[in-house]
Structure 1
Amino acid sequence: MTWLVTGGAGYIGAHVAHAMVDAGLDVVALDNLSSGRRGFLPDTVPLGWVSVTDQDDVRDVMEENAITGVVHLAAFKYAGESVKRPLHTWRQNLDGTLSVLGAMQDLGIDRIVFSSTAAVYGTPDVDLVTEETPTHPESPYGSSKLAAERAIVEQAAARRSAGAPLRHTALRYFNVVGSSAPGVYDSSPHNLFPLVMDALSRGDAPRIFGTDYDTPDGTCVRDYVHVADVAAAHVVAAQALDSGEDLRTTYNLGSGTGTSVREIVDACIEAAGVDVAPVLTGRRPGDPARIVASGRRASHDLDWRMRHTVRDMVDSAWAAHPAAGGPARG
């Protein structure tokens, strides 16, 4: 059995590919390298250098490699940027998913793990987000990923009625950080960790927006999870589908407790070994005090848990990032 990892040369996708190889699974990656890097992948993993939105090309890669299951990560993942580029976001995220589903149907491939996002919840007014929390996405990114989830569910229903079942699940998570594969790092110009690390590598002080929230240290609390833990959940889900299990439709990969912005920034400063203090400024409009998800369902079904501490996240991210002289791979 061979799994196709779409977006496999990206930061998260490459970690999933590494984890699947380590688990003894046969893996093929698909990526157009618009943001991914061939060097992020294990040398043993073939790369189909095509766009996920081209169904014919996707089907060719699947057929040539005798694919039996898909982990679908390829997407335009930046919520803020998606507001500026809604059409691009919808094409990549929904059209890409429809392309994958169409190619799977053509070839009779019957299992898919969808890498979704907790952005489908928007800004929930609850202390702990569960899978039953209402979805209210607030960006084209969140909306398009939720639409992709629904497309998978409806396609599965259609295939079941036609006697060709499609087993599936979607994994929702917030902020993915850290590194566990040599030279694989978050290169996004929009994410917190690379922004903080770039600033610290220049000797600049990172900013903290808002210190008077109703949280233990007054700064916003968010759900940060180590990329290795996220990758492990994808592997377990794939293995469960391979064994014939019917997983639940959605799983949150949440910490259940969260981490404050101050904790993250202090840990980054310590890891960088620089003598700077964060700049404390006022709140930004629209920043909720706390957004944290429960991982209880995933813990029960997928053996999900936070195996890495905040310090693990920060130290591994810093060690891998080129700003700190990490072993970057092209």
Structure 2
Amino acid sequence: MNKQILVTGGAGYIGSHTISQLGRAGYEIIIYDNLSTGTTSAITSGKLVLGDLADRQQLERVFAEHNFEAVLHFAASISVPESVVKPLAYYSNNTANTLNLLHCCERFGVNKFIFSSTAAVYGQPTVNPITEATIPEPLNPYGSSKLMSERLIRDYAIANTDFKYVILRYFNVAGAEISGNLGQSGKKATHLIKVACDAALGRRDNVSIFGTDFDTPDGTGIRDYIHVDDLARAHVDALIYLDGDRALSQILNCGYGQGYSVRQVIEKVKEISGVDFTVIEAERRAGDPACVIAAAERITQTLGWQPQYNDLDTIVRTSLAWEKKSSGSELHLKELVT
């Protein structure tokens, strides 16, 4: 019998790319998702159970009906500006719902847990690259809600020594599946590469650069971008790691250890798309750090993770190819990814 795993938020951007790889690896997947941001068209493997993590009774029924060996927890609200306006909603969806999930793990004896966290837990770093030893100081309720979830997971693992976890702190996730079958489908996505691709396709009038006076080579913020297929592979590697006899609980950065500025990303989208869309220079947003780059040595050493798409060209090409495909553009996928 294949190993059964529960994937919360598996119909979303990163979750759907991960279940695609898990399905090819032979896992039996149950996806628990309320489809608030995900789509059924993104589910290429597994069985969907429509439900909300706040519904503890339904969640317990799902656990009772299956023999889960592990939980991969993606489901969360992720907009920093929205979290500032709606902090209680973020603590409810991100922190309280993680607690519900842990209660179910405890009741039904599920002792392997992989959690989607974020570099937002670090706040505004003063030293780059950022290591996992950096003291977390989140600047907003989104980062705080994720850090609180991390602490719930950690404290439960201290009390229950059979329970092992891998917490993955994502840096800037971008790109689309190399096959062209999956990509960023969320209607509210505000990531820079997604926004720039939309401008190249005429879906928006312009792209804003928030801050041109940072202490960086070109004055714009620098971020560590990771291709979503590489990030999905990190989850598969984490699951394999937890299956090992000597696995220890881990907190790991997910990035490449190199950064690109906002201006570099925009110019790359213009170059690949062939469209010189309008760029507007605006004031900095409160709390935006100048530079955020991951120290990525620990994840490669611990999981044996080997990124394959550490290249801005590949990230942008796959993003643009997906956006063209999803918008029904006449330009064929091969023209962008070959």
TM-score (ref. length: structure 1): 0.91
Counterpart of 1:84?
85
Residue type of the partner of 2:201? S
Query: Which stretch shifts more, 217-226 or 93-102?
Result: 217-226
Q: 1:8 to 1:301 in 2, by over 3 A?
A: same
Shift of 1:218: 3.1
Equivalent position of 2:315 in the other structure: 313
Q: Quote the Cα distance in structure 2 between the aligned partners of 1:289 and 1:146.
A: 22
Q: 1:273 Cα shift?
A: 2.3
Q: Secondary structure at the match of 1:125?
A: coil
Secondary structure of 1:298's aligned partner: helix
The answer to whether the aligner puts 1:20 opposite 2:22 as a matched pair is yes
Map 1:248-287 to 2 at 5 A: 248-276=249-277, 278-281=279-282, 283-287=284-288
Q: Deviation per CA, 1:34-79, whole angstroms, max 9, x where unpaired?
A: 111111011x410111101222212222232321100011111111
SS at 1:24's partner residue? coil
Q: Quote the residue 2:294 is aligned against.
A: 293
CA distance in 2, matches of 1:32, 1:158: 31
Report how far residue 266 of structure 1 moved: 1.1
RMSD of Structure 2 on Structure 1 (CA)? 2.0
Structure 1 match to 2:181: 182
Gap regions ≥5 residues in structure 2: 333-338
Q: Which position in structure 2 is the counterpart of 1:221?
A: 222
CA distance in 2, matches of 1:304, 1:198: 31
Q: Distance in 2 between matches of 1:272 and 1:191?
A: 17
Query: Counterpart amino acid of 2:20?
Result: H
Displacement after TM superposition at 1:100 (Å):
0.8
Offset at residue 190 of structure 1 (A):
2.7
Superposed counterparts of 1:120-199, under 5 Å: 120-160=121-161, 165-180=162-177, 182-187=181-186, 188-199=188-199
* Residue identity matched to 2:189: P
Q: Is the 8 A contact 2:38 2:185 kept in 1?
A: no
1:103-114 matched pairs, under 5 angstroms: 103-114=104-115
The alignment's TM-score, normalised by the length of structure 2, stands at 0.89
**Distance of 2:25 and 2:248 partners within structure 1:** 20
Unaligned runs of 5+ in 1: none
How far residue 84 of structure 1 moved from its aligned partner, in angstroms, is 0.8
Segment of structure 1 superposing worse, 262-271 or 273-282: 273-282
Q: What amino acid is the match of 1:270?
A: E
- Decide which moves more: 131-140 or 44-53: 44-53
SS across alignment from 2:19: helix
Q: Secondary structure at the match of 1:262?
A: helix
1:103-157, CA deviations, whole angstroms, 9 ceiling, x for partnerless residues? Answer: 1111111110111111110011112110010100111111111111110111112
> CA separation of 1:310/1:115 partners in 2, compared to 1, >3 Å: closer, same or farther?
same
In structure 2, the partner of 1:246 is 247
Match of 1:72 in 2: 73
